Structure 1
Amino acid sequence: MSVINTTIKPFKASAFKNGKFIDITEKDVLGKWAVFFFYPADFTFVCPTELGDVADHYAELQKLGVEVFSVSTDTHFVHKAWHDASDTIRKIQYTMVGDPTWEISNNFEVLRADQGLANRGTFIIDPQGVIQSVEITAEGIGRNAEEMMRKIKAAQYVASHPGEVCPAKWEEGAKTLAPSLDLVGKI
């Protein structure tokens, strides 16, 4: 993806959070770790399972200093109606962003313009607003919040430990690598 290692672009949107409508911009994202979790549409099938999975891990994400923004091209009004109608969605405490103008979906390059829907995309963003991780899946493939959290922990580790990188399947507390000339060909 061409958005990796780029700074998030300016946007303004209405959202639903904790029973209220709020306005957000890219400035609300800066200064903390964030996840933008795009999905095709409210009142669908795979989407609520994914959003519910993230909701089940939200307290742990908050302990990691991570804010979550779920985004679809539905309005914030539809997010509220879905929240009121679904037991799974009712447990969501993070921000549900409406993107009916497609501005945010275009900014993150996940818009299916011919359908007016966003692809399933997960973006991990550092406190400077730089996109550190991108995952895009096909329509029928649901994502896993535990794997997302592993990637967040790896991104946070790398950010706080210059000169170190996290190898495949890295878990918090596991050995990292320090790339150097001496390491070439020895892994």
Structure 2
Amino acid sequence: MSLIGKKILPFKASAYNSGNGEFIEVSDENLKDQWSVVCFYPADFTFVCPTELGDLQDQYATLKELGVEVYSVSTDTHFTHKAWHDHSDVISKLEYIMIGDPAQTISRNFDVLDEEAGLAQRGTFIIDPDGIVQAAEINADGIGRDASILIDKIKAAQYVRNNPGEVCPAKWKEGEETLKPSLDLVGKI
């Protein structure tokens, strides 16, 4: 069942704020009134995960410029996130919030929990300021993600939100022509 167009379900969790080194509480309310990226990954102290989280950090400044906050989530605790942050060269550079989901509530809410393993799958979600999922990507454990593709997806989602009646075609880049679905376009693209 797709989460696209659906409101995120309520949650409350402890997190490690990599930006200031503090433990904080995060809930679904934190994801409202702004654009958010929620990036699920299987586990701390692993192999593909730090490459993905480091890549996401490389895009963090651009995402912030677009008004987007980033949250990473695994079924590890916020304590484990801090330990990983303190001991990994890649993870020590993170500036965004790392949510702990040991109760697996958030992973279930986003339908990325591998029940047998008790770990989150590699899921990335773009959430609008109303708490509605606008884009989702879920990869198998062995397939790392490329965070740079989030930039164009978010720009397109923001454009569509701010320009009702218009849509962004494939490979759309900011400033390029959009489409206005109508009877006149049927069969002509």
TM-score range, shorter chain: over 0.9
Out of 136, 141, 144, the position equivalent to 1:142 is 144
Hey, which bits of structure 1, 4+ residues long, moved more than 2 A?
none
Matched residue SS, 1:175 = coil
Which residue number in structure 1 is paired with residue 175 of structure 2?
Answer: 173
Q: How many residues align?
A: 187
Equivalent position amino acid for 1:11 in 2:
F
Which residue number in structure 1 is paired with residue 118 of structure 2?
Answer: 116
Q: How does 1:99-114 map to 2 (within 5 A)?
A: 99-114=101-116
CA deviations over 1:84-108 (Å, ceiling 9, x no partner): 0111101111100000000000000
Matched residue SS, 1:41 = coil
Cα distance in 2 for residues equivalent to 1:175 and 1:87:
42
Which residue number in structure 1 is paired with residue 16 of structure 2?
Answer: 16
Which residue number in structure 1 is paired with residue 45 of structure 2?
Answer: 43
Q: Taking every aligned residue pair, what percent have the same amino acid on both sides?
A: 65
Q: Give the alignment's Cα RMSD to 1 decimal.
A: 0.7
- Give TM-score, length-normalised by structure 2: 0.97
Out of 56, 80, 83, the position equivalent to 2:82 is 80
Which residue number in structure 2 is paired with residue 156 of structure 1?
Answer: 158
Which residue number in structure 1 is paired with residue 57 of structure 2?
Answer: 55
Query: How many Å apart are 1:2 and its aligned residue?
Result: 2.2
Is structure 2 residue 131 aligned with structure 1 residue 129?
yes
Cα distance in 2 for residues equivalent to 1:132 and 1:162:
15
Which residue number in structure 2 is paired with residue 184 of structure 1?
Answer: 186
- The gaps in structure 1 that reach 5 residues or longer are none
Cα distance in 2 for residues equivalent to 1:119 and 1:154:
25
Matched residue SS, 2:153 = helix
CA deviations over 1:131-178 (Å, ceiling 9, x no partner): 000100111111111111111111111111111111111111111111
Equivalent position amino acid for 1:101 in 2:
A
- Give TM-score, length-normalised by structure 1: 0.98
Cα distance in 2 for residues equivalent to 1:95 and 1:158:
27
Cα distance in 2 for residues equivalent to 1:153 and 1:86:
32
- The gaps in structure 2 that reach 5 residues or longer are none
Equivalent position amino acid for 1:156 in 2:
Q
